[in-house]
Amino acid sequence: MALLSFLYRNGLWLAPPAFCAAVALLILSIFSVVGLMRASVIVRLPLAGQQEVEFPEAGKVILCEEGPRFTQRFGRLTYRLADRAGMLVPGRKTLPLVSSGISTARKTARAFHIPEAGQYKFLVDGLGGPDEQDAQCSFVFTRPHFGGVILRILGIIASASLLIGSIVLFGLRLAGTRRGESTGPAVAPRTVITAAGIVSVIVAALVLSLWSNRNHRNAVRTFALAQGWQIAEGDPAGVSPRIGHLFPDRTFLSEQTITVESRARQIYLADGTYSHHGPKADAHLASACVLDSDALAAVPCRIEISSNLWVDKALLSGQVTLEDSPFSQEFLVLSEDPEAARRLLGARLQQVLLAHTAQPRCSPVEVAIGKGRIVLIARKIDEMDCWNGLVALAKEIEAAL
- The proportion of the chain whose per-residue pLDDT surpasses 70, expressed as a percent, equals 81
* Residue 217 domain-assigned (yes or no): no
Counting the structural domains of the chain, the total is 2
Structure confidence by residue, pLDDT tens digits, 198-211: 666 776 676 677 67
159 Cβ contact list (under 8 Å, min separation 6): 22, 25, 26, 29
Confidence of residue 13 (pLDDT cuts 50, 70, 90): low
360 domain-assigned: yes
Answer yes or no: is 113 within a domain. yes
Are both 144 and 34 inside the same structural domain? yes
Residue 143 placed within a domain: yes
User: What is the pLDDT confidence band of residue 178, given thresholds at 50, 70 and 90?
Assistant: low
Q: Given 191, 219, 250, which residue is the final one in a domain?
A: 191
Does one domain contain both 167 and 295? no
Can you give the pLDDT at residue 315? 62
Q: What per-residue confidence (pLDDT) applies to 269?
A: 93
Within 8 A by CB and 6+ apart from 201, the residues are: none
Give a yes or no: residue 197 inside a domain: no
The pLDDT score that the predictor gives to residue 329 is: 83
Alpha-carbon distance of 195 to 187, in angstroms, equals: 11
Residue 248 clears pLDDT 90, i.e. is over it: no
Tell me, yes or no, whether 170 and 304 share the same domain.
no
Pick from 318, 305, 291, 301: nearest CA to 371: 301
Looking at every residue in the chain, the average pLDDT score rounds to 79
Residue 298 lies in a domain: yes
Say whether pLDDT at 63 is over 70.
Answer: yes
pLDDT tens digits along 275-333? 776 544 566 788 899 999 988 888 888 888 888 766 666 566 677 777 888 887 888 88
Both 54 and 164 in one domain: the answer is: yes
Overall pTM > 0.75:
no
Same-domain check for residues 176 and 242? no
Closest by Cα among 106, 51, 45, 42 to 81 = 51
**Domain assignment of residue 224, yes or no:** no
Let me know whether 183 and 249 are in one domain. Answer: no
Residue 203 within a domain: no
Give pLDDT, residue 338: 84
In whole angstroms, give the CA distance from residue 358 to residue 324: 19
Least confident of 66-75, 136-145, 161-170: 161-170
The CA distances from residue 4 to 7, 64, 392, in Å, are 5, 47, 67
- pLDDT at residue 359 above 60? yes
Q: Which of 140, 170, 191 is the last residue of a domain?
A: 191
pLDDT at residue 142 in the model: 87
State the residue range of the domain holding 18: 1-191
Answer yes or no: do 30 and 83 share one domain. yes
Shared-domain flag, residues 147 and 281: no
Domain boundary among 160, 191, 222: 191
